Structure 1
Amino acid sequence: MTRPRRTRSVASRVFLVLLSAALVLGVLVAGFLVVETQRAVQAEAERVTAVSASTVAASGDVVAALRSRDREAASAALEPYALAVIEDAGLDFVTIMTPAGVRITHPDPEQIGSRYLGTIPSRPAPFTETFTGTLGPSVRTIVPVSADDGALVGWVSAGVTTESISETLLRRLPLSLAITALLIGVGALGAWFARRVARSIAGDLPPGTLRDAVSSYESIRTLGEALRAQTHEHGNRMHTAVALLELGRTKEAIDILTETSRESQFLVDQVTARRHGDPTVGALLLGKASQAKEKGIDWRVRIEPDTPRSQLAPVDSVSVLGNLIDNAMDAAATAAERWVEVVLRPSDAGGIVLEVADSGPGVPMELRTRIFEHGFSTKPADADGRGVGLALVRSVVEEAGGTVEILDSPTTFRVTLPPARRRTS
């Protein structure tokens, strides 16, 4: 015996979607913070090396020692100074050298007297690069040392190894990770809160059941409006007929009742002429006819007898047709010439084509996608749930494998449904 597969509720799906979004956003923010921190540390290293090298190159003691041309005396005088700058500025090396690039100072005394490993500019100008020297890969800036007369007397290079840059980056990573964790935590809290709100509204219903519930509500709403209008119209006619009978005007009373019966019978004949008529849809159309008359709208219906059975459940059929008619009536009510036309006919593929046309101003091109979005409406929100009907229409039709399109001249909503699936035993 196979167990039925358990479907996650709407609340659980909302929670998972929001939590996943929070995780993805957290990962993206973490990546951005790491890259931004790395860039900032690199830029800081370049700035510190440039400032340090320029400061050392401008020192009068450095200029005087290099002008003396005595390398041993210059090394003895400048090595302690260079080491102090390294300590104070947090650098890995400060190398003072001759114009030819011979080291006067170096953190490793054995390297003094050897040539500088790095680029020496062809013209006396500061230059920053990443180069692998005796201490490994490093970010370094070389600055010329000039005498008072502008003559080049030497160079100063200050650098920070990439290992030190990585250590600085690692020290700053906990802050980035803390920000990421906080963001994910806030997202998880929001997902949990959204789950509670969704559960308070939908309980533990799965999405399909919730959609069916909304469809049922919309069907009851639109069918109720139609039947209310039909009851109101019939009530008015019956009251008029009764009043005429009391006044002794029997012929006029009979004419009113006969006309009422004739109008209803015409639509009933159209509905029942189908081989696979739907009494629920028929009741809806009868009621909507009264509703249209109540609003002063010319009501037109054409149902071809060979229209096949719809694969939609009666509730969904009423929801789709009722919402399209309501939308058409709202549009037609704003026009000088008011009319709504409903057509049911077979499609070339053996399915059903449902068309609801109206004399309204039409749907602007830029809104033809948005009007099917949940919550969007061109009318103010009210108790009738504006912004739900057309979204539900598209959901029901697409779930059945059909399509919804909008045509012009006149404005027409066309629903095309595939043939009903045959039941197999």
Structure 2
Amino acid sequence: MMPVTIEKYSRPRGLKAENGWILKPNIVSVDPGNGKWSAFYADAGHVYSVNIPHGRVPVTGDRLDDIPGVAQADITYVDWNGTRYGIGEGVWNYATRYPVETFQGSELRYGSDLHIMAIIATIALLRVPSSEPLFLVVPVPPGLMSTVLPATGETVRDRVQHVLTNGQRGDGSGTWTIAINEGKPITYTLKRVIVIPEGLGGYAAYRWTLQGEEIKLMSEDNTRDLLAGRVVIGDLGLGTADKLVLFKGEIAPEELQHATDEDGGLYTHMIQPILDIIVSETGLRHLRAPHVDEWLRRWAKSRYSPDAARVVVGNYQIDLHDTFVRLQNKYADYVLQTLIEPERRKGANAFAEVGGGWLFIENKIRSSYPKFPFLTPLDWQHVRGIPLFELNGYGGLPFAANNIRVHKR
């Protein structure tokens, strides 16, 4: 099992700071998604991030004394609200006394204990300095921004803001305390929380630099800015498929109510069918979404190698390559039918790819529209190297930088 590590991105080429860096280390973008939890902050133009799979498992944190020649799983754990949890890649394989806890596919997850823990834990794992109050950028699905929660009468957006700024004790202090790997508890104070629709961070990543300056994404013939007309941000995540429509750089608010397809993510179209196959072939029912998500990520990382699609479940070895291919083709057809074609008929002049779902369908989608512009980080120097599944989280930083530059706030 790999421990959680901090990744440092190279400073984008050409990024300058004649009058100082706009983004201070107390400005943090966090994306506690259905599939991944990630956090980002910038210091002197360099971006630092952590990224871990969604899920936690109650653990004791016990370790054996060193035994020569015998390795032990290196589990990352956090002490949170009186409970110790294991988190990180593959923790569900090593800590099996309790089932892995997830909270996916529901508006009630936003502002829940697991959702807030994901935010504070990723900030602490990133080692964001706690000496100053923090400014946070946090996304929620656009179709849920204005959804009213019956229990509180708040919208999802207001609920997230209220819970985070109210603090752990509910006293309005905005303070939260957590400990990582038996380290000294660290306390963060949240001064301001900006909740944005998912997809907007992706748009910001494409549109602005870390200094908040606009970048024009010119067409191949250099005649038009691909982000200047009707642009659709297609954010394909584990839980939802979100569609954020912008016209001339402005969000189309009338589109928000129907912007989230809660059954449009990888869970419905690939993960749940695979779980059903595992139960049918083995009778084993202990697997959860994080297990399958791990298999799919390994397969994608291998560039869809058949060898990477062989999995072991209990005493069974199962070859899932043909299943993976069949499901990814079906998922591509679903996205074509429900997202791409309807928006093309409405006059979309470009799609911006955001989210890990594109890893499985991008080739088929692009081959279906060889002359239509689909924006991806590989095509643009200022975001090259940022994975699709991290664009929302990373994009909170250029979003904040542009707000500071343009609106002075």
Does TM-score exceed 0.5, indicating one fold?
Answer: no
| TM-score after normalising by structure 1 | 0.17
Q: Normalized per residue, which structure has more helix?
A: 1
Q: Tell me which of the two structures has the higher relative contact order, counting C-alpha pairs closer than 8 angstroms and 6 or more residues apart.
A: 2
